[in-house]
């Protein structure tokens, strides 16, 4: 039995375009987008997810040919949508990394750094601790499954060939960086104020008793207070994560024009 080339390309397009959007999201999304997950595993995972969700995805328009200029534009649109959805989760996780960096710089723990296996950059140990906890919260609350559910819903709200992101969506993604800084600063504000008060107190002590070795005393005391503040912040970290995850989910829903 022989099949026409147009029919074969139509069959491939039915799977290729959904696969492009899903794989683009998995390549960037937190956990699956880390450096310790090889690109081959991400592509295989995207292929498996595509075959699993194909019955729930609307039919691909037949008038768009796979090997055409419009087909290449459609592929580019799917990549942009998937990458945008994945980047929002990265912004959420990096917020907690920034929280650890702020506390580390204020409590003299900023010098303790190591190579982050997720992005290959030097990150303070406190930042890695908060990133690890945020990643565990993401998996524990089924955030990865929620992302797969949202990307499947996006095929109905942003159909292949007739739906793409607008300039307003790109602007909201850029504004999300400001939300990331604001959230990290709000979570670390108590620690910043406490450590600032301690540094001011040591400044007054230096003026009152110049013979004190304020550097050795202040360093160890600030380090101890910083560890106590980390213990205090860790107690309410999950509640902060839940509130921020709700904002993240709402942002993704606005991105794909879905009522959440």
Evaluate whether residue 126 is within a structural domain. Answer: yes
Q: What's the pLDDT at 50?
A: 87
Q: What's the pLDDT at 72?
A: 82
Evaluate whether residue 260 is within a structural domain. Answer: no
Q: What's the pLDDT at 113?
A: 61
Average model confidence (pLDDT) across the chain: 80
Q: Is the pTM of this model over 0.85?
A: no
Instruction: Give the helix/strand (H/E) hosting 198.
Output: helix 189-208
* pLDDT band for position 3 (cuts 50, 70, 90): low
The residue range of the domain holding 44 is 5-255
Give the Cα separation of 164 and 16 in Å (integer): 17
pLDDT at residue 120 greater than cutoff 70: no
Report how many domains make up the chain: 1
- At 11-70, the pLDDT tens digits run 776 778 888 889 999 988 888 877 777 888 888 888 898 888 888 887 777 777 777 777
Dihedral over Cα of 130, 132, 137, 143: its sign: positive
Q: What's the pLDDT at 210?
A: 67
Evaluate whether residue 207 is within a structural domain. Answer: yes
Token pair 């595509």: residue: 50
- Residue 34 half-sphere exposure toward CB, CA atoms < 13 A: 13
* pLDDT band for position 213 (cuts 50, 70, 90): low
Q: Percent of the chain, pLDDT > 90?
A: 2
Evaluate whether residue 217 is within a structural domain. Answer: yes
- At 80-112, the pLDDT tens digits run 888 888 888 888 888 888 888 888 777 766 666
The larger pLDDT score, comparing residue 198 to residue 250, is at 250
* Residues 105-124, mean pLDDT to the nearest whole number: 63
SS3 readout for 101-137: HHHHHHCCCCCCEEECCCCCCEEEHHHHHHHHHHHHH
Evaluate whether residue 116 is within a structural domain. Answer: yes
Evaluate whether residue 150 is within a structural domain. Answer: yes
- At 55-71, the pLDDT tens digits run 888 777 777 777 777 77
Cα dihedral 219, 221, 222, 226 in deg (nearest 10): 130
- At 162-183, the pLDDT tens digits run 767 777 777 877 888 788 888 8
* pLDDT band for position 130 (cuts 50, 70, 90): confident
* pLDDT band for position 240 (cuts 50, 70, 90): confident
Q: What's the pLDDT at 1?
A: 57
């Amino acid at each position: 039995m022989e099949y026409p080339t147009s029919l074969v390309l139509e069959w491939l397009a039915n799977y290729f375009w959904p696969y492009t959007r899903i794989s683009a999201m998995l390549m960037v999304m937190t956990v699956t987008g880390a450096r310790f997950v090889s690109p081959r595993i991400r592509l295989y995972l995207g292929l498996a997810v595509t075959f699993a969700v194909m019955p729930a995805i609307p039919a691909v328009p037949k008038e768009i040919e796979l090997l055409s200029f419009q087909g290449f534009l459609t592929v580019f649109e799917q990549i942009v949508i998937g990458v945008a959805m994945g980047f929002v989760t990265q912004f959420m996780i990096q917020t907690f990394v920034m929280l650890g960096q702020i506390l580390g710089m204020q409590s003299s723990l900023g010098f303790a750094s190591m190579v982050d296996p997720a992005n290959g950059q030097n990150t303070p140990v406190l930042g890695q601790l908060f990133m690890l906890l945020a990643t565990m919260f993401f998996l524990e609350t089924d955030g990865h499954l929620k992302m797969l559910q949202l990307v499947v819903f996006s095929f109905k709200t942003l159909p292949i060939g007739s739906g793409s992101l607008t300039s307003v969506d790109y602007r909201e993604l850029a504004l999300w960086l400001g939300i990331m800084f604001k959230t990290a600063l709000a979570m670390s504000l108590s620690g910043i104020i406490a450590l600032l008060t301690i540094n001011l107190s040591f400044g007054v002590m230096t003026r009152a008793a110049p013979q004190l070795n304020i550097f050795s005393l202040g360093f160890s005391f600030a380090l101890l207070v910083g560890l106590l503040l980390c213990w205090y912040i860790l107690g309410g970290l999950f509640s902060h994560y839940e509130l921020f995850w709700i904002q993240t989910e709402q942002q993704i829903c606005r991105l794909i024009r879905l009522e959440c």
